[in-house]
Amino acid sequence: MAPRKVPEVYARLGIKPVINAQSWITALGGSIMRPEVREAMSEAATCFVDMVELNHKAGEVVARACGTQAGMVTNGCSAAQTIAVAACMTGTDPAKVERLPHTEGLKNEVLMFKGERNRYDMAFEVPGAHIVEWGMLGGAQPWQLEAAITEKTACIATTFSPGIRRGLPVSELAAIAHKRGVPVIVDAAAEVPPMANLTRFVKEGADLVMFSGGKGIGGPQGAGLLAGRKDLIEAAFENNLNLNSPRAGIGRGMKVTKEELVGMVMALELYLESDEQALIAGWQRKAEYLKGRLQGMTGLRVAIEPFSSRRQGPQPVMYFEKEWKGPSPAEIRQRLLEKNPPIYVGGGSAGNDVNLVMVNVQDGEEVVIADRLVEILKGPAPTKRPK
């Protein structure tokens, strides 16, 4: 494959594009938008509109996609988390909305199962709330959650992500929470695909659910989705772009641009129409190609691990066994970055493996990855050293 041309806008800044076999990660740019999405954004940039009205219309599309009463486009899943908690604390009361991030006297605690604490959960605290952990790492029990709910509880938050130690299922959280009038909010940022996850958590009883727009859905990297109960979405609007109040609101720094709003709607609609099985089959084909190229080296076992809640798409994983004499996983990762284009691969899971995530590998890049890996794994042809 001829190397892809470096886009002029990056070349001018001295930036080298990379090959992304690491998934929809923020550090490499999330995802690549389809041409229709890029065109929609470019068209959106050509005139002025009423932004609140635009997000309400976009929200109707989000709500349909998620099977909820209402929805909105947010500045990433992270902002959705922040605005969701703000909404749970303030409702649509303008006096409360105006006070944030000062929350004395408000319900300002977010309950989270201890094992679900994660690197993104500070977003729940941004509006002035505090995370209160419930349960023990030994396992989650319904009575632990019941005992943890107080008059200060604003909501119960739960996160779905690879590597999370799960507490209770959403249905059980909801059953307990709803008896006490407490909403359940779900961070499912990177859980789509599968597409069915767009509607799954609300069906299970969640009051609000949030997703990244710029991961598997393929929207603008900065966009996200928030969907759920109508009253809470109205409260979320009040906290995000509060044009009616003298005070701009806690979500002001999280505004979504008209271009992102329109791009997100287009990406979501295209995603809903897409053939998920065909998409997964494409990842599987690339995985099989790579497995074929990497097979047959002593001490290296390559397996295609299936798509699961722990793995984003079917992916070849290189397991290094006792007989392996070549470079270590850390050296392999390093050397993959040293040539042009740099190749980023997954972090592995068992410590002694390298996983190659196919979801963002563009057509033909699997060949570049295989060539480079074969070169690194087999090492330079042995030369005789002079004594």
Ligand X SMILES: *Cc1c(COP(=O)(O)O)cnc(C)c1O
Of 21 and 77, the one with the shorter C-beta distance to ligand X is 77
Query: Is 159 one of the binding residues for ligand X (CB under 6 A)?
Result: yes
Which residue in 23, 31, 68, 78 binds ligand X (CB under 6 A)? Answer: 78
Query: φ and ψ at 148, to 5 degrees?
Result: -80, -20
Q: How far is the CB of 189 from ligand X (least distance, A)?
A: 3
CA nearest neighbour of 100 among 89, 92, 109, 111: 89
Only segment of 70-78, 101-109, 263-271, 278-286 that touches ligand X (CB under 6 A): 70-78
Q: How far is the CB of 161 from ligand X (least distance, A)?
A: 4
Query: Is 189 one of the binding residues for ligand X (CB under 6 A)?
Result: yes
Q: How far is the CB of 304 from ligand X (least distance, A)?
A: 23
Which residue in 59, 71, 76, 183 binds ligand X (CB under 6 A)? Answer: 76
Distance between start and end Cα atoms, the chain: 42
Q: How far is the CB of 340 from ligand X (least distance, A)?
A: 28
Query: φ and ψ at 19, to 5 degrees?
Result: -95, 130
Of 216 and 329, the one with the shorter C-beta distance to ligand X is 216
Of 186 and 356, the one with the shorter C-beta distance to ligand X is 186
Of 73 and 361, the one with the shorter C-beta distance to ligand X is 73
Of 6 and 32, the one with the shorter C-beta distance to ligand X is 32
Which residues from 109-148 bind ligand X, rule CB under 6 A?
120
- Long-range contacts of the stretch 276-281 (C-beta < 8 A, 24+): 276/193, 276/194, 276/195, 279/193, 280/193, 280/307, 280/313, 280/314
Of 158 and 336, the one with the shorter C-beta distance to ligand X is 158
Q: How far is the CB of 212 from ligand X (least distance, A)?
A: 3
Query: Is 257 one of the binding residues for ligand X (CB under 6 A)?
Result: no
Query: Is 77 one of the binding residues for ligand X (CB under 6 A)?
Result: yes
96 with 89: CB under 8 angstroms?
yes
**Segments in the chain forming alpha helices (H):** 8-11, 35-44, 51-66, 76-90, 94-99, 142-148, 170-179, 197-203, 230-240, 258-273, 276-294, 329-338, 365-378
- Total of chain residues touching ligand X, rule CB under 6 A: 12
Which residues from 14-43 bind ligand X, rule CB under 6 A?
26
Binding mask 194-213 for ligand X (x = CB under 6 A): ------------------x-
**Burial label, 55 (beta-carbon count in 10 A; 0-12, 13-18, 19+):** buried
Of 167 and 341, the one with the shorter C-beta distance to ligand X is 167
Q: Which residue is nearest to ligand X (CB)?
A: 76
CA angle, 344 then 219 then 212, to 5°: 75
Q: How far is the CB of 55 from ligand X (least distance, A)?
A: 17
Q: How far is the CB of 59 from ligand X (least distance, A)?
A: 17
161 with 190: CB under 8 angstroms?
yes
Alpha-carbon distance of 199 to 177, in angstroms, equals: 20
CA nearest neighbour of 303 among 362, 369, 355, 364: 355
Alpha-carbon distance of 22 to 309, in angstroms, equals: 16
Of 70 and 210, the one with the shorter C-beta distance to ligand X is 210
C-alpha distances in angstroms, 94 versus 69, 239, 373?
22, 9, 58
Of 26 and 284, the one with the shorter C-beta distance to ligand X is 26
Provide the binding-site residues for ligand X, judged by CB under 6 A. 26, 76-78, 120, 159, 161, 187, 189-190, 212, 224
